[in-house]
Amino acid sequence: LFGEKKGKKKEVATLPSHSMSFYFIFYASRFRDRLPGYLVPEFYNITLWPRLKPNPNSNLYIFTGWSAVQFECLEATDLILIHSNKLNYTEMKDEHFVKGVSVPNIKSTWLQLQTQYLVIQLMGKLTPGQKYQLHAQFTGELADDLAGFYRSEYKEDGVTKIVATSQMHPTNARKTFPCFDEPAIKAVFHLTLIHPTGTIALSNGMEMETATITVDGETLLQTTFEATEKMSTYLLAIIVSDYIRIWARKKAIKEGQGNYALNVTGPILDFFQAYYNISYPLRKSDQIALPDFYFGAMENWGLVTYRETNLLYDPETSSNSNKETTVTIIAHELAHMWFGNLVTLRWWNEVWLNEGFASYVSYLGADYAEPDWNVKDLIVLDDVQKVFAVDALVSSHPLTSKEDSINLPGQIMEQFDTISYSKVHTANLTMQDNNVSLPRQVDAIMNRWVRQMGFPVVTIDTSTGIVSQNHFLLVPESNVTVESPYKYEWMIPVRWMKDGATKDIWWLLEKKGLNVDMRTGPSWVLANINVTGYYRVNYDLGNWERLFSHRASVIPLINRAQLVDDAFNLASANYKYLLCLQIHIREQVLVHFTFIIHPNLRSAVYCSAVAAGGEAEWNFTWSQLQDATVASEANKLMLALACSNNTQLLERYLEFTLDPAKIRKQDATAVITAVANNRAGQNLTWQFVTKNWEHMFTEYGVGSFSFASLISGVTARFSTPQELQQLLDFEEEHKDAGFGSAALAVDQALERTQANIKWVQRNKQDVLQWFRSQTGN
Ligand SMILES: *[C@@H]1O[C@H](CO)[C@@H](O)[C@H](O)[C@H]1NC(C)=O
Ligand SMILES: *[C@@H]1O[C@H](CO)[C@@H](O)[C@H](O)[C@H]1NC(C)=O
Ligand SMILES: *[C@@H]1O[C@H](CO)[C@@H](O)[C@H](O)[C@H]1NC(C)=O
Ligand SMILES: *[C@@H]1O[C@H](CO)[C@@H](O)[C@H](O)[C@H]1NC(C)=O
Ligand SMILES: *[C@@H]1O[C@H](CO)[C@@H](O)[C@H](O)[C@H]1NC(C)=O
Ligand SMILES: *[C@@H]1O[C@H](CO)[C@@H](O)[C@H](O)[C@H]1NC(C)=O
Ligand SMILES: CC(=O)N[C@H]1CO[C@H](CO)[C@@H](O)[C@@H]1O
Ligand SMILES: [Zn+2]
């Protein structure tokens, strides 16, 4: 294939990017932003050649590609729609482009930017039942944008090295080759990579053959891979590097940083084979750590990609929590090898099922690999509390949304949020509590948890035995404008104990119920044991006091964490009598309720050192960061640099985030958020973000996960009317350009700021008074 094209003069076909008549046809059709489904691909033949050195003329890193896709026509049509983004086509002559029996001539071709389609309009119609092939030859930029086929850079012994790698999920395969880029449209992929000698090419399938070829006098390798399983485009992975298996930088492997991952991978795969009762579907399982990687990890089938911090573990310098992260993330990704990859969501509105399930079973897999760690207890701390915080806002969303409400790439990215990852655990655990008398109600129960946003607070009055539920909102008087078919009522499993003795599960099926056994007298009641239900619990003051004054050891560990979280949040939401209590708890908690926290001493020490020091110390820490070879160590140094109390240094550090040579794009959000969390940096950061928003938004790729975290991180401490105004101004100013995947985060930030302002207004006097009474001042 390659030799054939070599030396021919290439014509670059320029495609008009918009066409009014197409716009009209397109938007008038009922399919709008989704592929019509008339054309069903069977397989793709793809050859890619990434250049690991910049082109001397343009100074850009590029890749060239040749692709053919065979598809069957299901309904007669004269339009071929296939996804394509940022690719330049060469050789788009009629006779080569669409092949098959009696193919109509091409009338015109163009790119449709908003929906990222390459459109080929034919003179006549394709015939149902016939198979056709679409051939294309193209070039793309191997940019450092962490999307599609991209480049990652690192320094080893002073030499800059380039890795060509990929992140196709969710909608970036189309940036690598023209394809039918929707999760349900599966096909077989035959892949060939052309790459420099001394490098290794990896993909989802096993390498079948590596041949030496010569192009323009340059000696290169050509690696062919076995055909993949039939799978979604978003699971494809392509990597060219000089790495070693478990794949990582040579130095990291030599230092043994891959050993931990290697040791736990086997047991976790064993666990999932037994759990799903299906053997591992592929012939190989590669895992690779990349210096620049957008997400935490990606479950490409047979070739899982990770951020270095998530796969590598150095016993000398990494903390226990790094180890915990490694084992749970590996378990999460390996869980997808079955659930997600073998069985795939139909469309991105179902992402909650895919991600929620993987997050849930990741704890089971990690628990199997590390049985002594009580990993399952972490669910409450790591997931439930995090999702409660977002889901208590009226700008939240239900787990499910209609298929046709999620279309554009930005909306798809927005689906990958905390709610999708974390809420489903408890929805699932709720299901397990069904006893034999309830199966007919399973749908009724499930629907109330997944089809309406938010969650309830269950209030137990131990003096009357009356148990009631309300939609829990951080701002109780906020107006919920989204109607729910279930009126924001849930069917709630109440697992409870009285005086330490576990009682039978009790269901609260309506707004209000009566459980006479919960009338306690002097004893105490605890509900939502082990936080298996997705709700908060409130009690009458007497029961709260009895709970907190009790010896903590009888109360399950997980509930201790949740009691504190519930009490503080109920107080924030103006369950007013709890405010006194809150202060009381603070003392009690410190004495009785202190639980296993992993003090990450190193982080704390670095941070204090930078905070107490001046520019020399800051420079020293920065130089340590440049030299760090262990990713988790680098992470700690990177965050410590944000601890300075010198605004000039913080300003300099913020500027560094716009220079990928200083701060990798994947880390920019973490640095900016860290500076915002520093009191001395909060104002600076907001000014910085507003000043540079447009630049970041356009330069750092469309619709990305971290814009949402950026907004929520930078505004986390907003609590004054001035800050609210700033946020409103910001929203107004950038209305036209939009916020992409951060749109929801902006709404949430506005709402949270309003809630904070109200809380301060309402409670400032009480808190001040209490402090005065305690300090005698
Ligand atoms: C099942 O649930 C029903 C309804 O709450 C309850 O009456 C019954 O006792 C439960 N049965 C068992 C075996 O737990
Ligand atoms: C909710 O709506 C009512 C009536 O329109 C209004 O008075 C109130 O201020 C709104 N509440 C919030 C939190 O916006
Ligand atoms: C709560 O969780 C702990 C730790 O996982 C477990 O030992 C205990 O049996 C659980 N309690 C109940 C009532 O399920
Ligand atoms: C920063 O911290 C140092 C050391 O604690 C202190 O001397 C200095 O006054 C602080 N500077 C500011 C601007 O707060
Ligand atoms: C810190 O580094 C910057 C940039 O390299 C340099 O301009 C500055 O003089 C250094 N300051 C100190 C105190 O070393
Ligand atoms: C931040 O800005 C607000 C007003 O926008 C001001 O009241 C506050 O004092 C500033 N904080 C710091 C630490 O500079
Ligand atoms: C939707 C979901 O996550 N369901 C799971 C709930 O937990 C049970 C038992 O662990 C699984 O079998 C379900 O698949
Ligand atoms: Zn996942």
pLDDT at position 297 is 92
Greater confidence (226 vs 216) lies with 226
pLDDT the model gives residue 592? 41
> What was the pLDDT predicted at 347?
78
Each residue's pLDDT tens digit, 249-292: 788 888 888 999 988 998 999 999 988 888 888 888 899 999 88
- Is position 336 annotated in a ligand binding site? yes
Among the three residues 531, 547, 572, which one is the final residue of a domain in this structure?
Answer: 572
Judge if 230 and 210 occupy the same domain: yes
Please report which confidence band the pLDDT of residue 443 belongs to, taking 50, 70 and 90 as the band edges.
low
Q: What is the mean pLDDT of residues 668-687?
A: 91
pLDDT digits 0-9 by tens, 331-365: 999 999 988 888 887 777 777 777 877 888 888 89
Lining residues, ligand 6, CB within 6 Å: 683, 722
CA–CA distance, 306 with 460 (Å, rounded to integer): 45
Q: Same domain, yes or no, for 470 and 565?
A: yes
626 CA to centre of ligand 5 in angstroms: 15
Give the list of residues 6+ apart from residue 397 with CB closer than 8 angstroms, or none: 419, 453, 744
Query: 512-514 and 466-471 as β-strands: parallel, antiparallel, unpaired?
Result: antiparallel
CA distances from 390 to 139, 355, 422, 747, 757 (A): 42, 17, 11, 11, 17
pLDDT band at 577; cut points 50, 70, 90: low
**Element housing 512 (H / E):** strand 512-514
- The whole-number pLDDT of residue 602 equals 66
> Could you write out the DSSP letters of every residue in 580-642?
HHHHHHHHHIIIII-------HHHHHHHHHHHH--HHHHHHHHHHHHH--SHHHHHHHHHHGG
Per-residue pLDDT band at 20 (split at 50, 70, 90): very low
Q: What is the pLDDT of residues 500-546, one digit of tens each?
A: 899 988 889 899 999 999 997 788 999 999 887 889 999 998 898 88
- Asked if 333 is an active-site residue, the reply is yes
* Per-residue confidence band for 417, with pLDDT thresholds at 50, 70 and 90: low
Most confident range (mean pLDDT) of 156-160, 344-348, 405-409 is: 156-160
**CA atoms of 412 and 116, how far apart (whole Å):** 14
83 among annotated binding-site residues: no
| CATH of residue 463 | 2.60.40.1910
Please give the average per-residue pLDDT across 292-299, as a whole number.
86
Residues 197-233: b if buried by 16+ CB within 10 A, e if exposed: eebbbbbbbeeeeeeeeeeeeeebbbbbbbebbebbb
Q: Which burial class, exposed, middle or buried, applies to 100 when counting CB atoms under 10 A from its CB (0-12, 13-18, 19+)?
A: middle
Probe target for ligand 6 pocket from 682, 683, 720, with the most ligand atoms within 8 Å of CB: 683
Say whether both 268 and 364 belong to one domain.
Answer: yes
**HSE of 541, CA atoms in CB hemisphere, 13 A:** 10
Q: Where is the domain boundary, 525, 552, 572? A: 572
Q: How many structural domains are present in the chain? A: 4
Q: What is the pLDDT of residues 728-744, one digit of tens each?
A: 999 998 888 778 778 88
**Catalytic position from the list 333, 414, 723, 751:** 333
Per-range mean pLDDT, top range of 6-20, 362-376, 384-398: 362-376
In a domain, 636, yes or no: no
* Mean pLDDT, rounded, for 205-227: 94
Percent share of the chain, pLDDT over 70: 82
Say if residue 720 is in the same domain as residue 761.
yes
> Do residues 361 and 225 both lie within one domain?
no
* Minimal-distance CA residue to ligand 2 atom 2: 479
Domain boundary among 506, 540, 572: 572
Helices (H), 286-437: 308-311, 320-336, 351-369, 378, 385-391, 409-414, 418-422, 424-432
Domain of residue 282, CATH code? 1.10.390.10
Do 21 and 165 lie in one domain? The reply is yes
Confirm whether 79 is domain-assigned: yes
What is each CA distance from 576 to 458, 480, 569, 582, 762, in whole angstroms? 16, 22, 11, 10, 10
Tokens of 702: 């469309």
Q: Is 504 in the pocket of ligand 1 (CB under 6 A)?
A: yes
CATH code of 656's domain: 1.25.50.20
Q: Does 286 reside within a domain?
A: yes
Asked if residue 633 is part of any domain, the answer here is no
**660 alpha carbon – ligand 6 mean position (Å):** 30
Spatial contact of 109 and 14, defined as CB atoms under 8 Å apart:
no
DSSP state of 69: E
* pLDDT at residue 91, rounded to an integer: 64
**CATH classification of the domain holding 209:** 2.60.40.1730
Ligand 7 centre distance from Cα of residue 303 (Å): 26
Confidence class of residue 556 from pLDDT cuts 50, 70 and 90?
confident
Residues in contact with ligand 7 (CB, 6 Å cut-off): 357, 360, 428, 431-432
114 three-state secondary structure = coil
Ligand 8 centroid to residue 597 C-alpha, Å: 26
The mean pLDDT of 235-257, rounded to a whole number, is: 85
18 annotated binding-site participant: no
Same domain, 205 and 285: no
> For residue 650, which ligand has an atom nearest its CA?
4
What's the whole-number mean pLDDT along residues 599-606? 62
Whether residue 728 lies inside any domain: the answer is yes
82 forms beta bridges with: 118
- List, chain by chain if needed, residues with CB within 6 Å of any ligand 2 atom: 475, 477-479
Q: Give the type of residue at 300.
A: N
Output the six-digit token pair for 62.
């590029």
For residue 502, the ligand closest to its alpha carbon is: 3
Tell whether omega for the bond before 281 is within 30 degrees of 0, i.e. cis: no
| Residue to probe by mutation, ligand 7, list 431, 447, 450, most atoms within 8 Å of CB | 431
CA of 710 to the centre of ligand 5 (A): 28
- Tell me if 512 is assigned to some domain: yes
Give the range with max mean pLDDT: 160-174, 247-261, 589-603: 160-174
In a shared domain, residues 542 and 488: yes
Would residue 178 count as lying in a domain?
yes
- Ligand 5 atom with the smallest distance to the CA of 615 is 13
> Is 209 in the same domain as 258?
no
In this prediction, residue 211 has a pLDDT band, given cuts at 50, 70 and 90, of: very high
| Number of the ligand 4 atom closest to the C-alpha atom of 613 | 4
Do 27 and 162 fall into the same domain? yes
pTM over 0.75: no
- Over residues 415-440, mean pLDDT: 50
Domain-embedded: residue 50: yes
**Full domain range(s) for residue 717:** 646-775
For the ranges 520-524, 628-632, 649-653, 730-734, the lowest mean pLDDT is seen at 628-632
Examine the domain organization and report whether 525 and 462 are in the same domain: yes
Residue 24, pLDDT > 60, answer no
Same domain as 293, residue 233:
no
Query: In the structure, what pLDDT confidence band is assigned to residue 705 with cuts at 50, 70 and 90?
Result: low
Q: Whose CA is closest to 390, among 295, 473, 321, 486?
A: 473
Q: Which of 608, 615, 645, 647 to mutate to test the pocket of ligand 4 (most atoms within 8 A of CB)?
A: 645
